[in-house]
Amino acid sequence: MMETGSYNLRPGDLKNVFALCTADSLFISSAILEDPATNTSNAPIQKLTGNIGRAGVAFLVPPMEPEIKSYDTIDEWYCLDHKEFDGIVDDCFQGTSLHLSFSEASQPLNVQFSGNRDVEAYFIEALVSVYDRGTWVAELDILGALRHQKILREYLHSNPCQCSPAQPLGTRIISIDNYAEMVVPPKAPGIVRAKGNWQARLVAATICIAKGYRVILKSEKTCWNCFYKLSMNGRSVQAVLGGTEQGAVMVL
Return averaged pLDDT per consecutive 10 residues of the chain, 252 residues in all: 72 88 91 82 85 88 92 68 84 95 86 63 93 94 78 63 66 87 87 93 92 84 81 79 69 84
Instruction: Please give the pLDDT value at position 234.
Output: 77
Question: CB burial class (10 A; 0-12, 13-18, 19+) of residue 171?
Answer: middle
Instruction: Please give the pLDDT value at position 78.
Output: 61
Domain residue limits, the chain: 137-251
Instruction: Please give the pLDDT value at position 42.
Output: 72
* CA-to-CA separations, 136 to 47, 80, 130, 139, 175, in angstroms, rounded: 28, 17, 6, 9, 22
Q: What is the pTM of this model?
A: 0.87
A 10 A CB-CB count for 125 gives 16
Question: For residue 199, which of 138, 246, 110, 123 has the smallest C-alpha distance?
Answer: 138
Dihedral angle sign, alpha carbons of residues 92, 129, 23, 47: negative
Evaluate whether 203 touches 131 at the Cβ level (below 8 Å): no
Instruction: Please give the pLDDT value at position 132.
Output: 94
